[in-house]
């Protein structure tokens, strides 16, 4: 069919725009009406733990991307973080299931985090300790969840967006819950 479909997608990130475009092409190919496609896509909301913004007091936004983590999903999340105004912080837990190259991946993502102008990096987990060390100044590694949450609570400032990310095994949703009182 000819024409355009204009809609407002509530899912952040270029990767979600690409997913919506692919879904649109597939739906059109099987005969769905453009209006129905637009309506369905506009009703989409982030799945819990997948780039889900949560506003808390003092002009602080938490981006809950705790569902899972790997270098590609971290990059997609950092692209979203970069669109928010103010300071950008990353709370990163280990990225699991990377095989023997896991230590190298954790060191390498430090440069990516710097490239996205993250102001502060807080890590937890043995592999993420390597990310903090490679990131250098502005990074703090924490041995426990309690220590990480305490550090965040003491240092969070207005006009800061905090991206929380890590593999499921790290249970990073506990950080989000502590910050948002969920």
Whether 140 and 162 share a structural domain: yes
pLDDT tens column, 131-156: 999 999 999 999 999 999 999 999 99
State the CATH number of the domain containing residue 165.
3.90.190.20
Whether 39 and 76 share a structural domain: no
Whether 71 and 126 share a structural domain: yes
- The answer to whether the beta carbons of residues 27 and 37 sit under 8 Å apart is yes
Q: How many domains does the chain have?
A: 2
- The answer to whether the beta carbons of residues 131 and 123 sit under 8 Å apart is yes
Whether 107 and 170 share a structural domain: yes
Whether 7 and 64 share a structural domain: no
Measured in degrees and rounded to the nearest 5, phi and psi for residue 27 equal: -65, -40
Report which DSSP code applies to 120: E
Range in 26-40, 47-61, 164-178 the model is least confident about: 47-61
Whether 142 and 175 share a structural domain: yes
Range in 41-45, 120-124, 140-144, 153-157 the model is least confident about: 41-45
What pTM does this model have? 0.87
- List CB contacts of 55: < 8 A, sequence separation 6 or more: 61, 62
Whether 122 and 57 share a structural domain: yes
Whether 39 and 91 share a structural domain: no
Whether 33 and 112 share a structural domain: no
Instruction: For residue 104, give the 3-state DSSP assignment.
Output: helix
Whether 109 and 144 share a structural domain: yes
Whether 112 and 166 share a structural domain: yes
Report which DSSP code applies to 94: -
DSSP 4-73: -------S-SHHHHHHHHHHHHHHHHTT--HHHHHHHHHH--PPTTSSEEEEETTTEEEEEE-S---HHH
Domain membership of residue 91 as a residue range = 52-180
- List CB contacts of 180: < 8 A, sequence separation 6 or more: 54, 56, 62
Whether 37 and 121 share a structural domain: no
pLDDT tens column, 47-98: 778 899 998 876 999 999 999 999 999 999 999 999 999 999 999 999 999 9
């Amino acid at each position: 069919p000819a024409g355009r479909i204009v809609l407002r997608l509530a899912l952040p990130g270029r990767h979600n725009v690409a997913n919506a475009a692919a879904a649109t092409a597939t739906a059109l190919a099987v005969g769905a009406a453009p209006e129905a496609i637009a309506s369905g896509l506009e009703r989409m909301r982030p799945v819990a733990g997948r780039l889900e913004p949560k506003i808390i007091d003092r002009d602080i936004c938490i981006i809950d991307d705790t569902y899972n983590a790997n270098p590609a999903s971290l990059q997609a999340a950092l692209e979203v973080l970069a669109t928010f105004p103010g300071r950008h912080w990353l709370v990163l837990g280990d990225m699991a299931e990377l095989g023997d190259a896991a230590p190298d991946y954790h060191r390498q993502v430090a440069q990516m985090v710097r490239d996205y102008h993250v102001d502060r990096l807080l890590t937890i987990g043995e592999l993420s300790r390597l990310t903090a060390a490679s990131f250098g100044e502005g990074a703090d590694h924490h041995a426990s969840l309690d220590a990480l949450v305490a550090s965040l609570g003491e240092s969070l400032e207005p006009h800061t967006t905090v991206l929380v990310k890590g593999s499921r095994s790290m249970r990073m949703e506990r950080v989000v819950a502590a910050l948002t009182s969920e």
